[in-house]
């Protein structure tokens, strides 16, 4: 965590805002009713599965470029259980953070 120093993130924020809008706009306004080839459609639909899974593992098991197992594993486990019990998003986050905070405190 680098909470102490606020880096200049504006170039990323602006580039991402522009790209995100252009993607939305491209689909709705520019491409119109044209259809993508099915194979293309199918691969694009898989992006969240691949990336979200990678993000989960990165944030649970790594510090910088090294793999570590620490108290975050408990928070991750709580998040998995809460998600499986179909808890709302915010409940998942709050439970996982509480578990992690409590374990860090003791």
Q: Tokens 């259980």 appear where?
A: 81
What minimum distance in Å lies between the beta carbon of 64 and another protein?
6
Residues 38-77 that bind another protein (CB under 8 A): 39, 41-67, 72, 75-76
Identified binder of another protein from the candidate list 23, 37, 69, 106, rule CB under 8 A: 23
Q: Residue 106, interface with another protein (CB under 8 A)?
A: no
Q: What is the C-alpha radius of gyration for the chain, rounded to an integer number of angstroms?
A: 19
Alpha carbons within 13 angstroms on the beta-carbon side of residue 65 total 0
Q: Residue 28, interface with another protein (CB under 8 A)?
A: yes
């Amino acid at each position: 965590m680098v909470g102490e120093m606020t880096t200049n993130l504006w170039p990323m924020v602006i580039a991402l805002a522009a790209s995100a809008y252009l993607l939305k706009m491209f689909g709705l306004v520019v491409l119109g009713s044209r259809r993508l080839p099915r194979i293309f459609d199918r691969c694009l639909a898989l992006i969240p599965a691949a990336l979200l899974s990678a993000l989960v593992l990165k944030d649970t098991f790594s510090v910088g470029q090294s793999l570590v197992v620490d108290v975050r594993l408990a928070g991750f486990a709580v998040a998995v259980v809460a998600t499986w019990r179909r808890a709302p998003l915010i409940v998942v986050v709050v439970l996982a953070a509480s578990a992690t905070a409590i374990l860090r405190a003791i």
